[in-house]
Amino acid sequence: MTPALAVEGLSVEFRTRSGIVRALENVSFSVAKGETIALVGESGSGKSVTAYAVMGILDPAGRVTAGRAMLGELDLLSAKPKQLAEVRGRKIAMIFQNPRTALNPIRPVGRQIADVLIRHGNVSRRAAPAQAVEMLRAVGITDPARRAKAYPFEMSGGMCQRVMIAIALAAKPSLLIADEPTTGLDVTTQAVIMDLVGDLAKELGMATIFITHDLALAGQRSARIVVMHAGHVVENAPTGELSANPRHPYTAELIAATPDSAQSLDALAAIPGSLPDLRRADLPPCRYAERCPRKIAACASPLPQAKPEATHIVACWNPLPDRNEPAQTVYPKAVSAA
């Protein structure tokens, strides 16, 4: 099956006054049609930069130095701005983190949805407002005709997020990138919003990339989890497999630090150390090596390359033992150091 989006070897640098920040290095993952995957990592791990690079909305200081992001036949990273403008909104859409700041504060929300419909949805100017109201109804806003005339500041955070979802889905995209869509919302609202995104994705057969720092939420809502650390993908596995059988030491520590399943506070384990400074010239090949409890001599050589057919990808020379097949380890095959 052809994936909805395949990111291959994406590297991004930011030029700053204090040096070049190597924010992403060789990030690869793909999302199949209709599939929901989650990008998980702590702040500074490069999850949002990945999304911005794919959308072509990186900060001017940022530069894609290598890699491809294939949306069907089109490489989003080398596409011309005009091509990108055609694709964005129509084929890929994005939900941003803070709905209140991402919406236009001086335009009624119904108009903002209508704008997208006119630009990308082949809807006539006259029909757009009525259809915007329909979109609001579809995302579960009560009294949509009245709400369409409201400004973002008149609505609660949960409602603003619904409007964002309506805008993102207005042109029925085939890929949705949701960047921390429920951060700052209540758990009850979070559940409703995530249900909504999930239901709509199923209805439209849309692929979803869901960016979050909440491993528990990712586990509940996605079929596959991609764990990122300091600009590297450290592990990529189906959700059940990842939570039951984490192979990368960082993933294991992240799970041990998640408070949802712990019995007491003492059972939670903090992750020692912090992210390495990504401006350093002498960054080790494995950016987790300096914090890693399982560090061995091989960690100084370039990271192992995964087999293309592998479903559970671990970027580690000394991963935790596989609990499924203790005898036959399926360590990713080493490629001779280039």
Partner 1 sequence: MTVLLDVADVTKLFPASGGAGLWTRFRRRLSGGPENVPKVHAVDDVSFAVGKGETVGLVGESGCGKSTLVRALTRLVDVTDGSIKLGARELALKPSRVFARDRDRARVQMVFQDAGESVNPRFTAFAAIADPLRRLRKLRGKALRERVETVAGQCGLPLQLLSRFPHQLSGGQRARVGIARAIAVGPDLLVLDEPTAALDVSVQVVILQLLQRLKIETGMSYLFVSHDLSVVRLLCDRVLVMYLGKIVESGPAREVFEHPLHPYTQALVAAVPRLHESGGERLRLTGEPRSPIDPDPNVCRFYGRCPRGTETCKTTMPALRSFANRQVACHFAEQFLPQPRTAS
| Residue 315 · residue 284 · CB < 8 Å | no
Residue partners of 88: CB distance under 8 A and separation at least 6: 55, 56
* DSSP state at residue 301: S
261 sits near partner 1 (criterion: CB under 8 A): yes
Span of 7-15, 192-200, 203-211, 327-335 interacting with partner 1 by CB under 8 A: 192-200
| Residue 33 · residue 39 · CB < 8 Å | no
Indicate which single residue of 66, 191, 204, 320 sits in contact with partner 1 (rule: CB under 8 A).
191
Residue 316, both tokens = 């580690």
Indicate which single residue of 65, 78, 101, 274 sits in contact with partner 1 (rule: CB under 8 A).
274
How many chain residues touch partner 1 (CB under 8 A)? 44
Residue whose tokens read 């949306």: 71
Do you know the residue count of the chain?
338
Indicate which single residue of 18, 122, 124, 264 sits in contact with partner 1 (rule: CB under 8 A).
264
Of 88 and 291, which has the nearer Cβ to partner 1? 291
262 sits near partner 1 (criterion: CB under 8 A): yes
| Residue 242 · residue 227 · CB < 8 Å | yes
Residue partners of 298: CB distance under 8 A and separation at least 6: 317, 318
Of 88 and 162, which has the nearer Cβ to partner 1? 162
192 sits near partner 1 (criterion: CB under 8 A): yes
Indicate which single residue of 269, 300, 310, 335 sits in contact with partner 1 (rule: CB under 8 A).
269
Sign, CA torsion 310/315/317/322: negative
Of 7 and 234, which has the nearer Cβ to partner 1? 234
Indicate which single residue of 48, 174, 243, 251 sits in contact with partner 1 (rule: CB under 8 A).
243
- In whole angstroms, give the CA distance from residue 174 to residue 110: 23
The percent helix, strand, coil of the chain (3-state, each to 5) is 35, 20, 45
259 sits near partner 1 (criterion: CB under 8 A): yes
Indicate which single residue of 18, 122, 124, 188 sits in contact with partner 1 (rule: CB under 8 A).
188
Sign, CA torsion 206/212/215/220: negative
- In whole angstroms, give the CA distance from residue 286 to residue 323: 23
79 sits near partner 1 (criterion: CB under 8 A): no
- In whole angstroms, give the CA distance from residue 52 to residue 183: 18
48 sits near partner 1 (criterion: CB under 8 A): no
CB of 145 to partner 1, least distance (A): 16
Span of 49-57, 67-75, 186-194, 200-208 interacting with partner 1 by CB under 8 A: 186-194
Span of 94-102, 111-119, 126-134, 251-259 interacting with partner 1 by CB under 8 A: 251-259
3-state secondary structure at position 262: coil
220 sits near partner 1 (criterion: CB under 8 A): yes
Of 86 and 241, which has the nearer Cβ to partner 1? 241
Tell me the backbone φ, ψ of residue 106, rounded to 5 degrees: -110, 25
Indicate which single residue of 26, 245, 258, 318 sits in contact with partner 1 (rule: CB under 8 A).
258
CB of 188 to partner 1, least distance (A): 5
Per DSSP, helices labelled H in the chain are 47-55, 81-87, 99-102, 109-120, 128-138, 144-147, 157-169, 187-204, 215-221, 239-244, 249-257
Of 6 and 151, which has the nearer Cβ to partner 1? 151
89 sits near partner 1 (criterion: CB under 8 A): no
Indicate which single residue of 1, 106, 265, 327 sits in contact with partner 1 (rule: CB under 8 A).
265
43 sits near partner 1 (criterion: CB under 8 A): yes
* DSSP state at residue 335: P
Write out the residues near partner 1 by the rule CB under 8 A. 42-43, 142, 156-157, 186-192, 194-195, 198, 213-217, 219-221, 239-240, 243-244, 253-255, 257-262, 264-266, 268-271, 274
